[in-house]
Amino acid sequence: MIKCIAIDDEPLALKQMAGYIHKTPFLELLGQFESAIQAIPFVQENQVDLMFLDISMPDLSGMDFVKSLEHPPKVVFTTAYSDFAVEGFRVDAVDYLVKPIGYSDFLKAANKAKSWFETRQMVHLQVKYDDQFLFIKSEYRIVRINFNDIRYIEAMSEYVKIHLISASPVMSLLSMKSLEEQLPTEKFMRVHRSFIVNLTKISIIERSRIVFGDDVYIPVSDQYKSKFQNWVDKKFII
């Protein structure tokens, strides 16, 4: 089941969207909200897979709401205006529905989301773990990556880019979260929403940045700074 919420400042539109979700067998409605502000604590405290989200709302628009979240759920935008379509897809929207919305159009968007989650699940199952290496699906190949060869990992929209010491980077359709869970914690640490670093490859740290070579600077964000600093302190000799 895909866990959903619906957000719309129009009560009738919200009721219709909730009804459509209830009607769709593979969707589960966790909550419905008349503003994005109301939904913020719920999204932060619960596992939400998919949001059906109106764009044009007072105080906080649907687009700004998605951009404000550190790890936003997938989203299907709903609106009375078609001008937001391009911007919507820039934030990786699954689909974009223009009101009035019929159930057939809703179901097409829901099926797109279902396909996305099924693909993600298949890819997750294709990550194979060993003490010293991973097998990762990259395009049409299964690639072995030794932990010791990884310098850092970079999030790139739906993909991750694994930067290696002596080979070209490897791209894979994976989330940072799923890959992070497979990496040994004594060697790897998330230091930013977009970066995981191999701790054994760090040689220079300057001004809250990890330096890899002349042109690569990995920022350590506030969210991860304390954990990273604790690791540094354990290794630091005065």
| pLDDT category of residue 89 using cuts at 50, 70 and 90 | very low
Cβ atoms of residues 196 and 163 within 8 Å: no
- Within this chain, do residues 109 and 132 fall inside the same structural domain, yes or no? no
- Within this chain, do residues 115 and 168 fall inside the same structural domain, yes or no? no
Confidence check: pLDDT of 88 > 80: no
- Within this chain, do residues 95 and 195 fall inside the same structural domain, yes or no? no
- Provide, rounded to the nearest whole percent, the portion of the chain with pLDDT above 90: 50
Query: What average pLDDT does the chain have?
Result: 87
| pLDDT category of residue 133 using cuts at 50, 70 and 90 | confident
- Token readout for 194 is 């977009």
| pLDDT category of residue 207 using cuts at 50, 70 and 90 | confident
Distance CA 148, CA 151 (A): 8
- Within this chain, do residues 117 and 141 fall inside the same structural domain, yes or no? no
Distance CA 206, CA 170 (A): 27
- Between 7-11, 24-28, 59-63, the lowest mean confidence (pLDDT) is in 59-63
The model's pTM is: 0.56
Report pLDDT for 122: 59
Decide which of 91, 108, 124 is a domain's last residue.
124
- Within this chain, do residues 31 and 88 fall inside the same structural domain, yes or no? yes
- Within this chain, do residues 56 and 119 fall inside the same structural domain, yes or no? yes
| pLDDT category of residue 86 using cuts at 50, 70 and 90 | very low
- Within this chain, do residues 43 and 84 fall inside the same structural domain, yes or no? yes
| pLDDT category of residue 67 using cuts at 50, 70 and 90 | confident
As for how many domains the chain has, the answer is 2
CATH number of residue 110's parent domain: 3.40.50.2300
- Within this chain, do residues 98 and 178 fall inside the same structural domain, yes or no? no
Report pLDDT for 83: 64
- Within this chain, do residues 97 and 140 fall inside the same structural domain, yes or no? no
Distance CA 66, CA 161 (A): 23
Report pLDDT for 129: 55
Average pLDDT over residues 130-148: 82
- Token readout for 144 is 């072995």
Domain that holds residue 221: 128-235
CATH number of residue 193's parent domain: 2.40.50.1020
Confidence check: pLDDT of 112 > 70: yes
